[in-house]
Structure 1
Amino acid sequence: MKNKANFSQHFIWLFPLLCLLVPTVSFASETGHMLTLGGIRLEFIFFAFTLLCVALFHHYTMFVSLAGLAAVVASKYIFLDDFSFVHHMMGGDGHEGEWRIMLNLFGLLSGFAILAKHFDESHLPKILPRYLPDDWKGGFVLLVMIFVTSGFLDNIAAAMIGGAIAFVVFKQRVHIGYLAAIVAASNAGGSGSVVGDTTTTLMWIDGVSQLDVLHAYIAAVVSLVIFGVIASKQQDKYQRIVKDGPSSVQVEWKKIGVVGLILLLAVATNYLFDFPALGVWVAILIGSLVVKTPWREINHALPGTVFLLGLVSCASLMPVDELPPASWVSTFGLGFISAIFDNIPLTKLCLEQGGYDWGILAYAVGFGGSMLWFGSSAGVALSSMYPEARSAVNWVRQGWHVPVAYVIGFFIMLAVAGWSPHAPHKNQITTVKEKTYS
């Protein structure tokens, strides 16, 4: 009740302000033209304000994203005569619409929540501590495990599994610098896989090939070595590892098999139908005939899913022709921006604009969010297990190795792979479809 009261006190002045702002600025814009304030279009102002509120009020992100979407849509209806949100979502007259991306994203996020629970209930994470060394190298091996797990499992799940193991093997005393490393390992591990991070999954849904993001692992591996060694030594000085896990645990291989089937059919249906969510849910239904399915995870994932869908919808409404040109310099900067603002809408904006090297972008927006605890969904999720992590000052001060690793990894990847923009991938997809139907 106290949190709700605080939320009301913080936001009580926002809604009157928005109500006063819209009719006031409506007189300052010509009909059919979007209002600009200081040269910035009103949609960008609402969008930036939404992202700021997400960072400040992380307990109410779903409501913030929906309010931001409502504000952006309302501004377009007020100032643009030809705008239709229904047309924007459903398509028509040569416009594809956003419905396929939204449906895919909803299906994948809710399906991956079930996948993560299957993996957790398989008890495989509980036996992993048996294979950890006793000194600082044990902490590093755990980070490597998180990194690898995140390549085929959602980064949130990988971070939570890693956090749960760390809670046990470090006797509930986990250094904040090591918590930052857990988040960084989960984000880095998913940056080169289209099923390992929501940002790369969004790229995949939008038509970017797995091969086009794979070279993100050049930077990700370099970064893992840098922050992993430093953070593991921090943790070893703070609390040495106790590696022995429970000896009576039996792995449920049927659940591991269902996890594998979900990933396999997701890849297959993406290739055949450009609809990976279909494969995820077909596999879940088949798996329900063999093992007990944790359907309750859909309810648990629903607020986060709605939150992301709201932000992605907001991003899709931004006029992308007014963004800075895509380059390695702007992509490098997006890594720092994603530490403050959510990386999902940033990725969506980049997809709409085109002209990026998708592997470099995947690393920047995926790993960059690790620099602050609220910069990625994995960080926010892990902070629910470790409330002491909710200090931006301590996160930066004790997890300083994460931004250092980001910079070094970025420039090594740039030197090795170069800047090779793959876009306009949407134009390429359209051309292929036109040739197919002609």
Structure 2
Amino acid sequence: MNKTHSGRNISAWLFLLSTLIFPTFAMAADGNHMLTVAGIRLEFILFAATLLGVALFHNYTMWVSIAGLTAVVASKYLFLDDFSLAQHILGGEGHEGEWRVLLNLLGLLFGFAILAKHFEESELPKILPKYLPDDWKGGFVLLIMIFVISAFLDNIAAAMIGGAIAFVVFNKRVHIGYLAAIVAASNAGGSGSVVGDTTTTLMWIDGVNPLNVVHAYIAAGTALVLFGVIASIQQDKYQRIIKDAPLGIVVEWKKLGVVGLILISAILTNYFFDFPAMGVWIAIIISALVVKTPWSELKNALGGTVFLMGLVTCASLMPVDELPKASWLTTFFLGFVSAVFDNIPLTKLCLEQGGYDWGVLAYAVGFGGSMLWFGSSAGVALSNMYPEARSAVTWVRQGWHVAASYIIGFFVLLALSGWAPHAPHKASQNNLVKQETVAKPNA
């Protein structure tokens, strides 16, 4: 209760500060232009302040996210006459809007909270120690499992399943460095598959050949070995895997069947409709007729879900209008950018710009978000299960091996596969064809 009141107080103070400052800014505004401070647009400053608030007040992240989103939206309305939040979300004038991404994310976060509980109640995690090695290699095998699962399923599900297993096999004591490795394994596993991560799915929808992202696994596999071994040793020293499964454990096959149904439905609707959340909820509703559904998990996941929705919406409002020329160096730094800014709008921008090696980009924006707990949907989803992970400082300090593995994996990929940029994508190609068509008659 005290945390709730404190969070509301933080949010209220931030909102009050905004209402006092923004009118002064608005009076100084010049037409339909966003205010800049030292050449930096106000939205970026507010978003950076929000991320700083998340790092400093990690126990009140939901309220910080709400306050940050409110401030960014207010700045848009104050300085930009043509801004419309409804149009930004719902789309219009050739712009699809963010509704699909946000609704899909909302459904997955709530749905996978229920999936994770079904998996826990199936009792299967309790007998897994019987099949995992007793020492640090048991943790490493678990990370490999998460990597493989994420290759054909959304990385959020892979992280939640891995988190649920770790909760049991490590007797509820999971090292932050290992939590970072769970997120990294789920993001790495999805980086080379067009059904394993939202960013690669976006590439696929936009016309990128699925085979053009597969070589991301060169970097992802390298990174998995590096951070996987280090994190597993960290976890083994912190809490060794349980050697023997408790006696008398009986697997609830109906619960396990529900988990399988949810996963299969998510894969099918992701493949056919680019909307895995729809399949998740169809399966949950159907299964509710057969087994008891843990609806209380929706309440438990509410805080983290609201936080992520606010942060992702805030990131989508950033005016990322242009990037430096596509190159391996630009792509390398985009990995660090994706740990702070949402990688979905970054990927969209790269697709519009063209000229990238899609496999290298997929690894950078997909795996790069693992370097901070709020840098990817998988990290935020896992933090619902492990609230102690919501400290950026602790995540970076104890999960340092993730950033180191990203760098090493990136350069191993360049050394083995090279930088092979594809032609400018879609719009740019169409414009080039039109220009050539017009130029020929004049020749």
TM-score between the two structures when normalised by the length of structure 1: 0.80
The 5 A counterparts of 1:343-358 are: 345-354=342-351, 355=354, 356-358=356-358
TM alignment of 1:273-312, pairs within 5 A: 273-312=273-312
Q: What is the rounded CA distance, in whole Å, between the counterparts of 2:208 and 2:60 in structure 1?
A: 32
Contact 1:66/1:307 (8 A) holds in 2? yes
Partner Cα distance (1:414, 1:279) in 2: 37
Counterpart residue type for residue 345 of structure 2: K
Residue 58 of structure 1 and its aligned partner are, at CA, apart by: 2.5
Stretches of structure 1 lacking an aligned partner (at least 5 in a row): 432-438
Partner of 1:401: 401
1:33-72 mapped onto 2 (5 Å cutoff)? 33-72=33-72
Q: CA deviation at 1:250?
A: 2.7
2:251 aligned with 1:254, yes or no? no
Distance 1:214 1:333, change over 3 A: same
Q: CA deviation at 1:161?
A: 5.1
CA distance in structure 2 between the partners assigned to 1:387 and 1:269 by the alignment: 30
The count of corresponding residues between Structure 1 and Structure 2 is 428
Change (3 A) 1:160 1:41: same
- Label 1:3 to 1:200 Cα distance change in 2 as closer, same or farther (>3 A): farther
Q: Partners in 1 of 2:276 and 2:382 — Cα distance?
A: 27
Q: 1:65 to 1:349 in 2, by over 3 A?
A: farther
Q: Which moved more, 1:20-29 or 1:376-385?
A: 376-385
Q: Give a deviation string over 1:275-320, Cα, whole Å, max 9, x none.
A: 3333332232232333333333333333333333323322332222
Q: Counterpart in 2 of 1:118? A: 118
Query: Aligned equivalents of 2:84 and 2:346: distance in 1?
Result: 19
In structure 2, what is the Cα distance between the partners aligned to 1:386 and 1:52? 20
CA deviations 1:18-71 (Å, max 9, x no partner) are 223212222332112222221222222222222222222233333323322222
Q: Is the 8 A contact 2:373 2:390 kept in 1?
A: yes
Aligned to 1:219: 219
- Kindly tell me: are residues 170 and 396 of structure 1, through their superposed partners in 2, closer, same or farther at Cα, counting changes over 3 Å? same
Q: How far is the alpha carbon of 1:421 from its aligned partner?
A: 5.7
Structure 1 residues 12 and 231, CA gap change in structure 2 (3 angstroms): same
**Residues 1:8 and 1:238: Cα distance change in structure 2 (over 3 Å):** closer
Distance 1:87 1:145, change over 3 A: closer
Work out whether residues 101 and 205 of structure 1, in 8 Å CA contact, stay in contact via their aligned partners in 2. no
Q: Is the 8 A contact 2:199 2:347 kept in 1?
A: no
Q: Could you tell me whether the CA contact under 8 Å between 2:195 and 2:271 is conserved in 1? A: no
Residue 367 (structure 1) aligns with: 367
Query: After superposition, where does 1:205-216 map in structure 2 within 5 Å?
Result: 213-216=213-216
Q: Give, in angstroms, the shift of residue 385 of structure 1.
A: 6.9
2:129·2:245 contact (CA, 8 Å) conserved in 1? Answer: yes
One-letter amino acid of the counterpart of residue 344, structure 2: T
Deviation per CA, 1:250-271: give whole Å up to 9, x if none: 3333333333333333343344
Aligned residue for 1:266, secondary structure, equals helix
Cα deviation for residue 196 of structure 1 reads 5.1
CA distance in 2, matches of 1:239, 1:228: 16
Q: CA deviation at 1:197?
A: 5.3
**Does the 8 Å contact 1:205/1:275 carry over to 2?**
no
Deviation of 1:130 (Å) = 0.6
For 1:306-345, what aligned pairs fall within 5 Å after superposition? 306-339=306-339, 341=340, 345=342
Q: 1:316–1:352: 8 Å Cα contact kept in structure 2?
A: no
- When residues 377 and 82 of structure 1 are mapped into structure 2, their CA distance, relative to the original with a 3 A threshold, is closer
CA contact (8 A) 1:320 1:353 kept: no
Equivalent residue, structure 1, for 2:414: 414
1:263-282 mapped onto 2 (5 Å cutoff)? 263-282=263-282
8 Å Cα contact 1:152/1:263 also seen in 2: no
Q: Distance in 2 between matches of 1:265 and 1:321?
A: 36
Report if aligned partners of 2:155, 2:186 keep a CA contact under 8 Å in 1. Answer: yes
5+ residue gaps, structure 2: 432-443
Task: Check whether the contact 1:312–1:348 (CA below 8 A) recurs between aligned residues.
Answer: no
Q: TM-score, normalised by structure 2?
A: 0.79
2: CA distance, partners of 1:94 / 1:163: 40
Residue identity over aligned pairs, in percent, reads: 73
Instruction: State how far apart, in whole Å, the 2-side matches of 1:17 and 1:329 are.
Output: 39
Say which SS state the counterpart of residue 27 (structure 1) adopts: helix
Contact 1:205-1:276 within 8 A present in 2 as well: no
CA–CA distance in structure 1, aligned partners of residues 57 and 40 of structure 2: 25
Letter in 1 for 2:90: M
Structure 1: distance between partners of 2:302 and 2:83: 29
C-alpha distance in structure 1 between counterparts of 2:187 and 2:363, whole Å: 9
Change (3 A) 1:149 1:250: farther
For 2:67 and 2:413, the matched residues in 1 are separated by 39
Cα distance, 1:105–1:325 mapped onto 2, change above 3 Å: farther
Q: Output the amino acid matched with 2:184.
A: A
Distance in 2 between the 1:176 and 1:84 partners?
40
Residue pair 1:187, 1:367 contacting (<8 A) in 2 also: yes
Structure 1 residues 146 and 302: CA distance shift in structure 2, 3 A: same
Give how far 1:129 is off.
Answer: 0.9
- Say yes or no: does 1:133 pair with 2:130: no
Distance 2:326 2:28 in 1: 32
Of stretches 406-415 and 88-97 in structure 1, the one that deviates more from structure 2 is: 88-97
How big is the shift at 1:229?
2.2
Retained in 2: the 8 A contact 1:25–1:35? Answer: yes
Match of 1:436 in 2: none
